[in-house]
Amino acid sequence: MQKLSHQTYCFDEFTLDLTRGCLLQGQQEIKLRPKSFEVLKYLVENNGRLVSKDELIHAVWVDAAVTDDSLVQCLKDIRHALSDEAQQIIKTVHGRGYIFDREVSDGASTTPVTTYTAETAGVQVIIEEEETDGHGVIETPHWPTSGGVGLLPAHRAKGIERLTTAIKQHRWSAVLGVLTLAVVAAAFVYFTRSGEAIDSVAVMPFVNVSGDPNTEYLSEGISDSIINSLSQLPNLKKVIALNSVLRYKGKQTDPQVVGRELNVRAVLMGRLVQQGDNLSISTELVDVRDNRRLWGQQYSRKLADITAVQTEIAQEISERLRLRLTGEEKKRLTKRYTQSGEAYQLYLMGRYYRRRQTKEGLGKSIEYFEQATKKDPSYAPAYAELGETYRNLAWGGFLAPKEARQREEWAALKALQIDDALAEAHVLMANIKEIDLDWSGAEEEYKRALELDPNSVRAHQTYAWHLEMVGRLDEAMPHLKRAQELDPLELSVNLDIGSALYFSRQYDRAIEQFQKTIEMDPNFVPAHVGLVQTYQAKGMYEEAIAERKKADALGQAPGSRARAQLAYAYAVAGKRDEAQKILIDLKELSKQRDVSPFDFALIYMGLGEKDQAFEWLNKTFDENPYRISFLKVNPRFDSLRSDPRFTDLLRRMKLAS
C-alpha cells in the first residue's frame, strides 16, 4: 500500500515535477510558462506515440480557441528548455504531429509517509517510512506465495545478507525485524527479475556493411531464417515477422525505439561483410527495457557455412532470452534442412525475389527455388516455398488457376513427403483442400500448421481467411489480431482486419481500418479497393467511384478485374450507361485474352440483372470455384441471397449451413 503525494516523470537527466509544476535538470529548476508545461506534460504522458497538432491543442487549450501559432510557441519554449537534445527528444513528423521519443519512468515521492507491505504465511507486515531518496518510492514487494525466506535460491543469499546488513545500519533500528522481512521480499523480486525469461524479440535486418547490392539477399535472408527458427518455439510469445522489421532497413535504429514501436522486450542487431567466399558477421542482443547488452558475438566463416552460423545465432538467442526448451524444441531449433550451402543460398535468393510480388520477381523466385531443389532434392522448405510462389502467381493473375493448383499440390506433397513437420507445407495443403472445397480437411491442415509454428503469420492469416469463408467471422478476428501482433507493419494483415470488419457489416470500423492501412502506404491499392467496397455497402456511391478511380490511377493500367469493379461502382450508383460501356469493352477484350467470368457476374450484380448474374456466377464456379470462396459472407452478394439459385450455389460450394 502506498500513499503518494508527489508525482514526477523522469527522462534523460530531466524530471517533470507535476506537483510543483516545474521542470528540473538535475537539481536545477528550468522555467516554463504554464501552457508550455502542459504541452510537455501531455507529450511525456503519451511518449512513443504520434500526437497530432489537433489532439495536442484540444488537450491543453480545453476551453479556448487558439491557432497553431500558440502551440508552435510553446514547443519553441520547451525545446529551448531542453537544450540541444530537443530535436531528438521531441521529434516532428511533418504534416502529422509530434513524438516524445524518450523512455519515461514514473516517479512518486511522499513527504508524510510511504507504506510498504510484505505478506508471509497470511500475516501482513507494514513498514512506514518518513521520507524517500528523492527518486520515488520502491515498488510494493509481494512475498512469493510458495513460501518464505528459506525457499529463496541459495546463490541469492549473499546478496540478501548484504541488504539486511545495510538495513541494520539504518536509523530505523526500532523496526529492524519487521523491515528485514520487507527488504527480503523486495530482494526476491529484484534478484528474480534478472533471471526471468524474455518472451518477445525482433530480429532486425542485418546491415550489409559492404553495400554490395548482390549480397542484400544474404543480409535479409539471415534475419529471415533466424526469425523462422525462433518462431517455432512456443515459449516465445512474439517473434516479429520479417515484413515489419524490413521497414527499418537502411535507417539508423535505436534498439529501445524499435522495441517500443514493435512492443518487444529484446532486439537483435547484426552486421554482415562478405569478401569473396569469406563472411564476417557481428551480432548484438539488447534488452530494450534498460538498454542492456545481453549477448554479442562475431563470426568469421566461409559462405558455404552460412546455415551453421544462422543455427548458432538462433540457439544463442534462445539461451540469452532464458527460454526453457524441451529436448524436442532444442532439436527443432538446431535443425538444418540442407547440408548444401549452395542450395541454401539459392533458397534465400528465391525468398528475396518473391517478396517483391511482381510477375518478374515471382518468375525469378521460381527459378531459384527450382535450382535449390536440384542442388538438394531433399530440401523440403525449398519445395514449400516453390508451391507458395505458384500460389502467388495465380493470385496475381499471372498463372491459370488450374495449372497453379497442380504445381502447388505437387510441391506441397513433395515437401510433406520429405518432412511432415514443416508448417509451411501444411498451410499449402490447406489451400489446396480449399480449392477442392474440402473445408474440414483444410481446417485440419491449418491447425496442424499452427501446432508446429504458433508464431507463423502466414498460418494465422490464411486460417482467418478460411474461417471467414465458412462464415465463422468471430473466430477469424483473433487470428488476424495475432498476425498483426506478430507483423504489425505488414500491409496485407492490416488490410485483412478491415476486410473482416466489412464482412461483419461493421462498416464504420472497416472504413477506419482501411484508412489506417492507407496511411501506412498511400500507394497500397488493395486498401483503396477495400474502401470502395465499404463505401458501396454504406450507400456512399460517389465516394466509392472517386476511390475506385484513385485506385486505378495507382495501379496505372487497370486490368479487367479493376475495370469490372469500376463498372459495378457505376451500376450501384445508378450510372448504368457508364457501367454498360465497360461491360461491352470487357466482352470485346475477352475475344483477345482471358477475362474471368466473375468480372461479368459482378457487373450484372451491380446492374440488378439477376439472371445474367447467376449465369456468370455458375460459369465462375465451373472455371474456378475458389474465386467466389467468400460467397457466404461478402455483402456484395446480399441482393441475391433470397433467390433459391443462391442457396443452390452455396450448396455446390459446400458452404450451405
Least confident of 66-70, 432-436, 456-460, 510-514: 66-70
Residue 206 sits in the same domain as residue 322: yes
End-of-domain residue from the set 155, 176, 193: 193
Percent of the chain with pLDDT over 90: 40
Domain assignment of residue 24, yes or no: yes
Torsion of CA 406, 410, 412, 417, to 10 degrees: 160
Residue 186 sits in the same domain as residue 236: no
The tens digit of pLDDT for each residue in 223-248 reads 888 888 888 887 788 899 888 888 88
Domain assignment of residue 578, yes or no: yes
Domain assignment of residue 244, yes or no: yes
Residue 125 CA to residue 143 CA, distance in Å, equals 10
Distances (CA, A) of 458 to 378, 430, 453, 569, 638: 23, 12, 10, 32, 30
Domain that includes residue 69, residue range: 7-107
pLDDT at 40 over 80: yes
Domain assignment of residue 306, yes or no: yes
For 521-572, what is the HEC assignment?
CCCCHHHHHHHHHHHHHCCCHHHHHHHHHHHHHHCCCCCHHHHHHHHHHHHH
Percent of the chain with pLDDT over 70: 83
The tens digit of pLDDT for each residue in 172-200 reads 333 333 333 333 333 333 333 445 788 89
Residue 131 sits in the same domain as residue 225: no
Residue 103 sits in the same domain as residue 217: no
Domain assignment of residue 467, yes or no: no
Tell me the chain's radius of gyration from C-alpha atoms: 30
Residue 335 CA to residue 44 CA, distance in Å, equals 46
Number of domains into which the chain is organized: 4
Provide the residue type at 113 as one letter: V
More confident residue, 159 or 14: 14
Residue 219 sits in the same domain as residue 187: no
Torsion of CA 508, 513, 517, 520, to 10 degrees: 100
What's the average model confidence in pLDDT over 214-224?
A: 83
Residue 151 sits in the same domain as residue 270: no
Distances (CA, A) of 527 to 86, 461, 481, 561: 36, 16, 17, 15
Domain assignment of residue 648, yes or no: yes
CATH of the domain at 585: 1.25.40
Neighbours of 451 (CB within 10 A): 13
Domain assignment of residue 500, yes or no: no
**Structure confidence at residue 370 (pLDDT):** 96
Residue 223 sits in the same domain as residue 175: no
pLDDT band at residue 84 under the 50/70/90 scheme: low
Residue 148 sits in the same domain as residue 209: no
Residue 625 sits in the same domain as residue 605: yes
End-of-domain residue from the set 193, 213, 247: 193
**Structure confidence at residue 195 (pLDDT):** 56
Residue 258 sits in the same domain as residue 302: yes
Which residues are within 8 A (CB) of 258 and not within 5 positions of it... i.e. 6 or more apart?
202, 204, 248, 264, 267, 288
More confident residue, 436 or 324: 436
Residue 150 sits in the same domain as residue 212: no
Domain assignment of residue 539, yes or no: no
**Structure confidence at residue 164 (pLDDT):** 45
CATH of the domain at 99: 1.10.10.10
Residue 100 sits in the same domain as residue 120: no
End-of-domain residue from the set 336, 368, 398: 336
Residue 560 CA to residue 577 CA, distance in Å, equals 18
Averaged pLDDT of the chain: 81
